[in-house]
């Protein structure tokens, strides 16, 4: 059936009796391609029929469809004529795994982080009315994303649309999961709703017709409306959305295409906001993904037959080192607690939960709350560790600054996926953490170059933190580079790995292996280049930097992050203030967002790989 889907809206030419065949073909297509390239699988398998129904009702690119987070947009991409792009899904210069307006005008809004769709949709409704256009605007949000505070801010604002008689459709895609199993009050509420008898209501023109009855129309309408609301309370506990002024429909079967098409078509006719509660099964159609949707949320290339990842390393990841060290220390110290924002497996805290369920907290997709929650615990003598991806901690910036740093509370931030993360692209690259953390008073920022340093930095922070402490580490294997030269940690002090004479390279954290490679390449050509591990980004070792300034007339910094406000800029400014007469070169990422691709490909493109660094230094030496 996919042969007939080559352009937007082609699905409208498919006969209703063939919808099931098309859904089956789409699932086969997804499995074949994602097993080869890797990607977000379970969420896309679960949303096949729902996406088909939306495409049968909406007109692209006129109508606007916003996917919350966006990792579930693969079916939408197929149905808008991009199936050939799956050959290079999430590959360097290939098709993104998230919606991208620059990729297609059928993608209404770029996304990548959770709980944003309702706000974006409300903005589009405002623009529609100001521009006097008539497009239908739909936001698809998962039940997991409703644990994010931004979604509630939008819901609160959405209620005004009923008074203004403006339509906005929200599809609540309820699959009982975000990345891991959902937590919190909204999850419990939706569980209750699912257990009740199906409740679907459309007002149509009933109220208007009753109003026309002479003498008793208005009174009869009021009585019926009150009775209807009482009945509604019996069938749908709490009526949370209705009480906020948003019409609620559901729950309905998210795999029943005719039912969804009928529901969506009628919802389009309303002059008010409506939430359509759709229940789907994450991973549907592929047994391993149905049984373990968290594993197949985002997965590397895998065997279709067994469901097992094809490439596995025997070496521990940085995440695993962090997790194991935290468990070891928590066994000795009962004040250590761990917090995650809906990422227990991704951050390695799932194992901590197994050992210490009473000291583990999953707050849902709510990074802002997580940070202040940690501050509250730290204020009462606990040692909270918030393990979070670099890109997601950005959403808690104000809380780090205002609630943690001002009080100087010893909250430890395990910043996972710091630096380039690869295939997820612009929205997930952890390249901004040095500037946004280093600018905050009282915050300590550390960057290990190998697994041994990561372990010792966490242990040191747990027992000697002077205030908010961030330890940033990359995705993937923990390096063993220079572990044999490990020296005891001292607060704010770096380590000279190799002395030189021609120049010195200061390599920050996870990019240190590229700096080391550059030193070795240049060494083979006769250059004698020193190599330094700063360990501490803030406070950096001023005494050591001044010592280097006295020995070298050329100082190079290398970091896997943006240069603007980064480590190199801080060192350059410090040297300038101290009248350094030599020259400084800073290697990092210019003022830009970085697309998707493998880390090695991206480093080469950005000229921060070992060979590119060596080549630049070589040319510099000849000037």
Identify the residue with better confidence: 149 or 318: 318
Q: Per the annotation, does 164 bind a ligand?
A: no
Q: Is 68 annotated as a binding residue?
A: no
Q: Is 112 annotated as a binding residue?
A: yes
Catalytic residue among 49, 367, 453, 514: 367
Ligand-binding site membership of 175 (annotated): yes
Any binding-site annotation on 256? Answer: no
545 CB neighbour count, 10 Å cutoff: 21
Q: Say whether pLDDT at 113 is over 90.
A: no
Q: Tens of pLDDT along 119-129?
A: 999 999 999 99
Confidence of residue 210 (pLDDT cuts 50, 70, 90): very low
Enter the tokens of residue 519. Answer: 């030193």
Flag whether 436 is marked binding. no
Catalytic entry in 83, 282, 417, 455: 282
pLDDT in tens, 14-25: 999 999 999 999
How far does Cα 6 stand from its chain's mean position? 30
Q: Is 298 annotated as a binding residue?
A: no
Q: What is the pLDDT of residue 74?
A: 94
Specify whether 607 is catalytic: no
Residues contacting residue 418 through CB under 8 Å, at least 6 positions apart: 390, 430, 433, 447, 472, 473, 474, 509, 510, 560
Are 430 and 389 within 8 A, CB to CB?
yes
Average pLDDT over residues 393-420: 97
255 is in an annotated binding site: no
Q: What is the pLDDT of residues 512-537, one digit of tens each?
A: 999 999 999 999 999 999 999 999 99
pLDDT tens, position by position, 19-77 = 999 999 999 999 999 999 999 999 999 999 999 999 999 999 999 999 998 899 999 99
| 3-state SS, residue 309 | strand
* pLDDT tens digits along 216-246: 555 655 554 454 444 444 444 336 777 777 8
- CA pair distance 211, 222, nearest whole angstrom: 10
Average pLDDT taken over every residue of the chain: 89
Rounded to 5 degrees, what are φ and ψ at 607? 60, 40
What is the distance between the alpha carbons of residues 611 and 608, in angstroms, rounded to a whole number? 8
Q: Kindly tell me if the per-residue pLDDT of 489 is higher than 60.
A: yes
pLDDT score, position 572 = 96
**Known active-site residue 395:** yes
Active-site pick, 82, 166, 295, 395:
395
Q: Is 198 a catalytic residue?
A: no
CB atoms within 10 A of CB 480: 12
Whether residue 465 contacts residue 384, with contact meaning beta carbons closer than 8 Å, is answered with: no
Please state, in angstroms and rounded to a whole number, the distance separating the CA atoms of residues 160 and 140: 20
Closest CA to 461 of 399, 357, 387, 368: 387
144 assigned to a ligand binding site: yes
């Amino acid at each position: 059936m996919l042969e007939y889907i080559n352009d937007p809206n082609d699905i409208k030419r498919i006969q209703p009796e063939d919808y099931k065949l098309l859904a089956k073909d789409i699932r086969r297509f997804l499995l074949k391609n994602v097993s080869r390239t890797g990607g977000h699988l379970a969420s896309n398998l679960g949303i096949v029929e729902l996406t088909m129904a939306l495409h049968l009702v909406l007109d692209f690119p006129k109508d606007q469809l916003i996917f919350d987070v966006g990792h579930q947009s693969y079916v939408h991409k197929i149905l808008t004529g991009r199936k050939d792009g799956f050959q290079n899904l999430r590959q360097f210069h290939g098709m993104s795994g998230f919606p991208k307006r620059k990729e297609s005008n059928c993608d209404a809004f770029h996304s990548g982080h959770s709980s944003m769709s309702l706000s974006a949709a409300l903005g589009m409704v405002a623009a529609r009315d100001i521009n006097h256009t008539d497009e239908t605007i739909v936001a698809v949000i998962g039940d997991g994303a409703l644990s994010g505070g931004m979604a509630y801010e939008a819901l609160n604002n959405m209620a005004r649309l009923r008074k203004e008689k403006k339509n906005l459709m929200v599809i609540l895609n309820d699959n009982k999961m975000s990345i891991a199993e959902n937590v919190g009050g909204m999850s419990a509420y939706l569980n209750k709703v699912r257990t009740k008898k199906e409740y679907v209501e459309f007002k149509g023109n009933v109220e208007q017709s009753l109003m026309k009855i002479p003498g008793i129309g208005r009174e009869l309408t009021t009585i019926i409306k009150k009775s209807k609301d009482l009945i509604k309370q019996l069938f749908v506990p709490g009526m949370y959305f209705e009480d906020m002024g948003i019409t609620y429909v559901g729950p309905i079967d998210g795999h029943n295409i005719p039912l969804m098409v009928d529901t969506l078509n009628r919802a389009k006719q309303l002059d008010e906001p409506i939430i359509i509660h759709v229940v789907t099964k994450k991973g549907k159609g592929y047994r391993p993904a149905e049984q373990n949707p968290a594993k197949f949320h985002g997965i590397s290339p895998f065997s279709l037959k067994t469901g097992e990842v094809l490439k596995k390393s025997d070496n521990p990841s940085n995440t695993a080192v962090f997790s194991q060290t935290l468990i070891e220390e928590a066994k000795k110290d009962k004040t250590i607690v761990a917090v995650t924002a809906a990422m227990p497996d991704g951050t390695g805290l799932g194992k901590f939960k197994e050992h210490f369920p009473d000291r583990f907290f999953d707050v849902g997709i709510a990074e802002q709350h997580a940070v202040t929650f940690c501050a509250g615990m730290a204020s009462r003598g606990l040692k909270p560790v918030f393990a979070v991806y670099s890109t997601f901690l950005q959403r808690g910036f104000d809380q780090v600054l205002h609630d943690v740093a001002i009080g100087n509370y010893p909250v430890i931030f395990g910043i996972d996926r710091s630096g380039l993360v690869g295939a997820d692209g612009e929205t997930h690259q952890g390249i901004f953490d040095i500037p946004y953390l280093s600018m905050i008073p009282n915050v300590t920022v550390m960057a290990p170059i190998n697994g041994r340093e990561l372990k010792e930095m966490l242990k040191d922070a747990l027992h000697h933190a002077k205030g908010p402490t961030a330890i940033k580490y990359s995705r993937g294997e923990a390096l063993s580079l220079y572990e044999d030269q490990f020296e005891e940690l001292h607060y704010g002090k770096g380590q000279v790995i190799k002395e030189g004479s021609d120049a010195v390279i200061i390599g920050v954290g996870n990019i240190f292996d590229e700096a080391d490679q550059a030193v070795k390449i240049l060494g083979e050509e006769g250059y004698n280049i020193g190599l330094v591990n700063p360990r501490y980004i803030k406070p950096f070792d001023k005494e050591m930097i001044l010592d280097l300034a006295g020995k070298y007339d050329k100082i190079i910094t290398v970091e896997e992050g943006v240069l603007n406000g980064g480590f190199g800029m801080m060192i350059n400014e410090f040297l300038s203030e101290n009248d350094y007469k030599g020259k400084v070169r800073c290697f990092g990422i210019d003022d830009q967002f970085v697309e998707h691709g493998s880390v090695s490909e991206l480093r080469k493109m950005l000229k921060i790989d070992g060979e590119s660094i060596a080549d630049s230094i070589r040319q510099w030496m000849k000037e």
